[in-house]
Amino acid sequence: MSTADAPGGLSPARKSLIALAVLLMVLGGAQTPPGGTVLRALGLTAEPPAYTELSFTTPAALPDFVQAGAVPEHASFEIRNRGTTAQDYRWSVYVERGKRRVKAGSGALRLGPGAARTLKPPALRCTSGPVRVVVQLDGRTERITFHSVCQRPGDLV
C-alpha cells in the first residue's frame, strides 16, 4: 500500500511540501552569519584566494628606447591588491643587461582590499644598448618586464 493510501496519513504531496519547507529553512539558515561559519567549517565555502596583480598600465605603448638618468615614459605600472585584507608591498625596479642587474629604485605602499595604485618607475641607470627593465614585488613572485634600448644623452639617434 502506498503512503497515499494510508488512512489518516499525509499524502505524498503534503509530505514533499513539508520536506521542501525544511529544505528552505536550512537554506535560509545557511545564508546567515552563523550558517556561513558552519559552511566554512564543512569546507563548503572558503575565503576567496588572495592575490596581487602587477601590470603595466599601457602595455601596448611601452617605450622602445629609454634615456639613461630619465624617468621612462609610458612605463607606469599598477599594483592591485585582490585579497580581502590590507597588504604591505615593497616594489623594486631593475635594469638588466645580460646577467648584469642594476637597481634603479624602489618604494613601499600599503593597499586595502581591492585597492590599486598606479606608480611611475624611477629614473633608470643604464649604459647604451639593449636592456630589460624589471619591476618586481619584493618577496613575492609577481614581476613584469619590458625590453628597451638605453640611450645616453650623447648617443646618436
Place of cell 619584493: 138
Identity at 19, one-letter amino acid code: A
Q: Say how far apart CA 138 and CA 39 lie, in whole Å.
A: 36
85 in contact with other proteins (CB under 8 A): no
User: Which is closer to other proteins, CB of 43 or CB of 154?
Assistant: 43
Helix (H), strand (E) at residue 126: none
Q: Say how far apart CA 105 and CA 103 lie, in whole Å.
A: 6
8 in contact with other proteins (CB under 8 A): no
User: In this structure, what C-alpha cell is assigned to residue 71?
Assistant: 624617468
86 in contact with other proteins (CB under 8 A): no
70 in contact with other proteins (CB under 8 A): no
92 in contact with other proteins (CB under 8 A): no
Residues that bind other proteins (CB under 8 A): 2-4, 10-16, 18-19, 23-25, 27-28, 30-31, 42-46, 48-49, 51-56, 59-60, 62, 82, 140-147
